[in-house]
Amino acid sequence: MEPALPPRESGRFVAERSRDVFVEKEGVHRAAEMFYSLRHSEDLTASGWRKANPLAPAATSDQALNWVFVVDTMNFSFWPEGEEQQCEVTYKGTTHRGYMTLCAAITRAMGEGIAITDPEYFSQMSMEELEHVLRSDNATLMPMLQERHRVLTEGGCVLLEHGGSFRSFISQAGNDAQKMVELIVDKLPSYRDETMYEGKRISFYKRAQILVADFWGIMEARGEADIPNLDCLTMFADYRVPQALVYLGALRYTDTLTQALKNGELLKCGDSREVEIRGCSIWSVEQIKEHLHKLVQERDGQMCNINSAVIDFYLWPYAKRHHKEMAHIPIHHTRCVYY
């Protein structure tokens, strides 16, 4: 089997052939202008990681690295079947939904004395134990519990084979971001986010790249963020950020695709429309980054070190903050372990 194109090249490949999703140059430039105005903001640095992960343990603790591994390994498919069917987790008086239910549940379990960040424990934990850890405040369970159990125990076994912690596992990549992504994808099947499109094997590696970016965020908080090749990371192709890109005018869906999504059609993993949404999202952010770097060079006479991962770090909470204004833009839904 031929190796998959890396995410950036996959994004370009898809964008050049897409029939239902298009990268819009004018919208890309407007988005780049927005990021130019924010170029000195902490929100566009890795140090913004703590703000985006308020439920994580202190970054100075190695437990934070294992927490990130546990959360990122189960970081997929939180969307509810209906608005009235939302899994909810309350922690210290705050009720969380979506991705934050997972963060809250893991941190809640730690407070209850459950060794949920210890690979010795989570590599062997039972389905019933994970159901207890991820329990909801209401009758709506977190989706895909069996899949979450499978990938977490699998991940724990891999860590035990490589030193017993995420830090020891990832150290095999020599602190190089690209090698880290390759290592994760090679050793952890649930992170192998690949598919076929127009006769070519392509990749998105959403969760693998997030895991590397989160590792970077923790090391940045420790003052140890000397990680080469971070620019190899693309945006993390999910279902929330594409909505923000459409809202900003950097992406455009055909009327046919928009109507299908508004009608609630579920897209299977590997459906050409699903692939085009994710691939064009990657290429859209690459174009935003490129134009932003050009603006900084032309106007400020400086090099710009804002990468695609940082742009994604900004866009995901941006989409959450502006969800009412974006309500008319449908989100695509695909049940899978990749995002």
Cβ-Cβ contacts under 8 Å for 195 (sequence gap 6 or more): 201, 202, 203, 204, 269, 270, 275
- Is residue 337 domain-resident? no
- 74: in domain: yes
Burial zone of 265 (CB within 10 Å; 0-12 exposed, 13-18 middle, 19+ buried): middle
Closest Cα to residue 239, out of 202, 204, 278, 266? Answer: 278
pLDDT of residue 48: 67
Q: How confident is the model at residue 226 (pLDDT cuts 50, 70, 90)?
A: confident
Share of the chain above pLDDT 70, in %: 99
CB 337 within 8 A of CB 149: no
Element (H, E) at 202: strand 200-203
Query: Which of 116-120, 166-170, 224-228 is predicted with the least confidence, judged by mean pLDDT?
Result: 224-228
> How confident is the prediction for the chain on average, in pLDDT?
95
**pLDDT of amino acid 30:** 98
Is 154 inside a domain boundary?
yes
Give the whole-angstrom CA distance, residue 289 versus residue 89. Answer: 36
pLDDT at 51: 76
Q: Does the pLDDT of residue 98 top 90, yes or no?
A: yes
Burial 1-10 (b: 16+ CB within 10 A, else e): eeebbbbbbb
Mapping DSSP to helix (H, G, I), strand (E, B) and coil, where does residue 236 land?
coil
Residue 329 falls inside a structural domain:
no
Q: Is residue 1 part of a domain?
A: no
User: What pLDDT is stored for residue 139 in this prediction?
Assistant: 94
Q: Which domain holds residue 285?
A: 7-321
Q: What is the pLDDT of residues 180-216, one digit of tens each?
A: 999 999 999 999 999 999 999 999 999 999 999 999 9
Q: Is the pLDDT of residue 137 over 70?
A: yes
Task: List residues with catalytic annotation.
Answer: 238
> Is residue 36, in this structure, part of any structural domain at all?
yes
Decide if 206 contacts 11 (C-beta within 8 A). Answer: no
Does pLDDT of 146 surpass 90? Answer: yes
Question: Is residue 2 a part of any domain in this protein?
Answer: no
Q: Which is more confidently placed, 2 or 324?
A: 324
Number of domains forming the structure of the chain:
1
Higher pLDDT, 323 or 222: 323
How confident is the model over 26-61, as pLDDT tens digits? 999 999 999 999 999 988 888 767 777 889 998 888
What's the sign of the alpha-carbon dihedral 160, 165, 171, 177? positive
Confidence of residue 223 (pLDDT cuts 50, 70, 90): confident
Flag whether 338 is in a domain.
no
Give the model's confidence band at 303: pLDDT under 50 very low, under 70 low, under 90 confident, else very high: very high
